[in-house]
Structure 1
């Protein structure tokens, strides 16, 4: 489990750590207290990944296209 604050983690780093957390929990050989901490970290990582995905989806949705479907720029998305 990483000590890196979520705010500093990329989507890819958070997903990698989340996969490691799930693997550890699925093995079932982690003590109860450690399992609880892993579960809590996993929930935080999941929320962080969902936020990063939502931000990316908003950015993609903001891309403006010309008449032929080619990207010509972006428009501001409210709230970003």
Structure 2
């Protein structure tokens, strides 16, 4: 059962069983599944990338070296 959820083998298992059940249609069905998963991932990435950017937790840190008057500023996210 764990092998079904292992990302390294998921599509290989789907391809194997679809060939067993659907013979000639297997390639088209597996391609449709891959396309659907890619579209789903792209939608997820677009949605959550925008949320991450809008709720970023960046802050500025001032660093002084050897008690010099100059300081460097860096942005950490």
- With a CA cutoff of 8 Å and minimum separation of 6, indicate the structure with the bigger relative contact order: 1
User: Where is the strand percentage greater, Structure 1 or Structure 2?
Assistant: 2
TM-score by length of 2: 0.46
From the CA coordinates, give the structure whose radius of gyration is larger.
2
